[in-house]
Amino acid sequence: MIKVILTDIEGTISSISFVKDVLFPFARKNLAVFVKDQAANPEVAEIISQVKKECGHEMTLDEVVETLAKWSDEDKKITPLKTLQGLIWEDGFKKNVFKAHIYADALEKMRAWKNQGLPIYVYSSGSVFAQKLFFTYNEAGNILPLFSGHYDTTVGGKKEAASYVRIAADLKTDPAEILFLSDIVEELDAAAEVGMRTILICRDGKIPQTRQRVETDFKSIDLQGNGHFDLPG
C-alpha cells in the first residue's frame, strides 16, 4: 500500500519549457552581476566558499563567477550552483517577472491525495529554497501547503540509489510504501533498485524502452487498494 508520494518537478508536475526557457536563462543572464553585487551577503559568501571547496583551490571572485557560469552552461547538478539559482529566481519571483507553471492534472490529483491524508514530498535537483519559491509564486496561487517536505541534491544525486535509501530513512517509511514519480528513467531505476514503487510520467507520448510503469499524465494514476506496480529487475 502506498503511504507516501515522492515527486520530481520538471517534466513531471511542471513544464520542462518553463524551467528550461524561463528560469534557467534568467538565472544565467543575472548570475555574474548577482554574485559580484551580493558577494558580502552571507548566503552568497557561502556559495563562493563551496565553489572553492569543490574546485579544491583558492580562487578570485571572477574565477568563481566563471566557474559558476561554466557549470550553468553545462547544466551541472552541483549544490552551490543550484543554491545560487534559487536566490536569483527569488528576485524574479518577488518582482513578478514570472510565475511558476503547474500541470492542471497534477495539481488536481495532488490536491485529492492531500485531502485523503496522503503526504506528498518533492525531490528535485533544484534547491529546497528554489522549490519553495516555485510553489509559493505559482500561477495556481500559493500551493506550497500541498507538500509535506522537500529534498534536493544535498541527499545525493537523483540517479544514485543511495539517495533514495536516505530519503526513505528520513521519512521512516518502507521504500515499498513510497511511490516516486519522475520523467527520467534513470532516476526511477535508482529508486526501484531500493524497492520504491515508480511511475514514469511521459507527457510527450514518446515512451522509451523501459520496464517502468508509464503514464502520460496524472489522471489515470489510481492508488486505491494496493494498486499494481511492476518493479524493474
* CA dist., res. 18 & res. 33, Å (int): 23
* CA dist., res. 114 & res. 168, Å (int): 19
For the ranges 76-80, 104-108, 207-211, 216-220, the maximum mean pLDDT occurs at 104-108
Q: Residue 33: is its pLDDT beyond 90? A: yes
Would you give the distance in Å from CA 166 to the centre of its chain? 16
For 122-144, what is each residue's pLDDT tens digit? 999 888 998 999 999 999 999 99
Report residue 232's pLDDT band, with 50, 70 and 90 as the boundaries.
very low
Identify the pLDDT of residue 127: 87
Q: Residue 209: is its pLDDT beyond 60? A: yes
Contact 1, 226 (CB under 8 A): yes
Report residue 35's pLDDT band, with 50, 70 and 90 as the boundaries.
very high
The residue behind cell 489515470 is: 220
* CA dist., res. 137 & res. 139, Å (int): 7
Report residue 224's pLDDT band, with 50, 70 and 90 as the boundaries.
low
Which has more confidence, 164 or 207?
164
- Average pLDDT (72-96) is 93
Query: What domains are there in the chain, each with its CATH number?
Result: 4-15+100-215 (3.40.50.1000), 18-94 (1.10.720.60)
**Burial class for 67, CB neighbours closer than 10 Å (0-12, 13-18, 19+):** buried
How high does pLDDT run on average in the chain? 93
Q: Residue 13: is its pLDDT beyond 50? A: yes
Contacting residues for 65 by C-beta, under 8 A, at least 6 apart:
31, 32, 35, 36
- Average pLDDT (96-108) is 96
For 40-81, what is each residue's pLDDT tens digit? 999 999 999 999 999 999 999 999 999 999 999 999 989 899
Identify the pLDDT of residue 225: 46
- Average pLDDT (91-100) is 94
